[in-house]
Amino acid sequence: MQFNQILEKIWELVTIYGLKVLAAIVIFVVGRWVAKFISNLIRRVMRKSEVDRTIRRFVANMAYITLLAFVVLAALSQLGIQTTSFIAILGAAGLAVGLALQGSLANFAAGFLMIIFRPIRVGDYVEAAGVAGTVEEIQIFTTTLVTPDNKTVIIPNANLTSDNIVNWTLKGTRRVDLIMGIGYEDDIDKARQIMHDVLAKDERILKDPAPQIAMVELADSSVNFVVRPWVKAPDYWGVYMSVTEKIKKAFDANGISIPYPQRDVHVYQHAAQQ
């Protein structure tokens, strides 16, 4: 008689809790499939919208993890487990982690905004956070720059966005600013024409906007001109160095001097008093 009662009790438990366990398993399996489907759907939609690959991956993963967390809570609730305490524990843990990772979260937020608004892109030459270089990689927490002398500089994104960012590449063109000085005895018009001819022969210099050559200063030792040609951004340094050298050689060939800093000293002699 007792054996029959035990079997009845076991069957009763299986009937009650077995259905709950089965329902919890179904909720978890179906919910996981739905979470993965939605994650992939978000990824496809963002790919069609040409959203940055890093953002696509991050948003899709966050959506999947968030939905999966709700699925797990729903499955536990189906088993009769109180999920309120779990939510409270997760909330407290999230707060503690957030306080411990304030700097990382700031870098994350800055990186996310940079990827969304794209003030800089991979390949741009920028000045930011006291560093100048070409952007090699933009990640969620850091941005990597390569300096002209091939140093790799890794900058936290929060530092990058908290300061001014000078993007030399974004507009596609740059102005080369040169100061060329000639002697006071030299022919101003001749010097101007020589510099104009040098710029006209360089195919890298743009016709529009036109280069500017103008006298700007009567300095202590020289008459100074500004020479301002426009070039495509990748040609900047090549034109800067090449034009400087060509103007110097053209001045030498045409008898135009580039004076050294100098001062005229006048000595007056006074007759000795008797």
Q: How confident is the model at residue 203 (pLDDT cuts 50, 70, 90)?
A: very high
Looking at residue 74, its pLDDT comes to 81
Tens digits of residue pLDDT in 82-106: 666 666 666 766 666 555 545 667 7
Q: pLDDT tens, 230-254?
A: 999 989 999 999 999 999 999 999 9
**CA-to-CA distance for 267 and 265, rounded, in angstroms?**
6
Range with the poorest average pLDDT among 75-79, 127-131, 225-229, 243-247: 75-79
Distance from C-alpha of 138 to C-alpha of 114, rounded to nearest angstrom: 8
3-state secondary structure of 154: strand
- Percent of the chain residues topping a pLDDT of 90: 36
From CA 29, how far away is CA 71, in angstroms rounded? 9
Residues 6+ apart with CB under 8 A from 200: none
pLDDT band at 216 (very low <50, low <70, confident <90, very high): very high
Tell me the H-state helices in 101-187. Answer: 102-117, 157-161
Choice among 184-193, 218-227, 260-269 with the minimum mean pLDDT: 260-269
Which domains are present in the chain? 2-100 (1.10.287.1260), 119-167 (2.30.30.60), 173-253 (3.30.70.100)
> Whole-angstrom Cα distance, residue 123 to residue 134?
6
Give 7-47 pLDDT, tens digit per residue: 566 556 556 566 677 777 888 888 889 888 988 888 888 77
pTM for this model (two decimals): 0.60
**pLDDT, mean of residues 151-174:** 89
Predicted confidence at residue 211, as pLDDT, reads 94
Asked if 210 contacts 228 with a C-beta cutoff of 8 angstroms, the reply is: no
pLDDT, greater one: 75 or 101:
75
Reference 34, options 67, 76, 74; nearest CA is 67
Cβ partners under 8 Å of residue 119, min gap 6:
165, 167
How many other C-beta atoms are found inside a 10 Å radius of the C-beta of residue 185?
8
Encoded amino acid at 11, one letter: W
Per the CB < 8 A criterion, the answer to whether 138 and 122 are in contact is yes
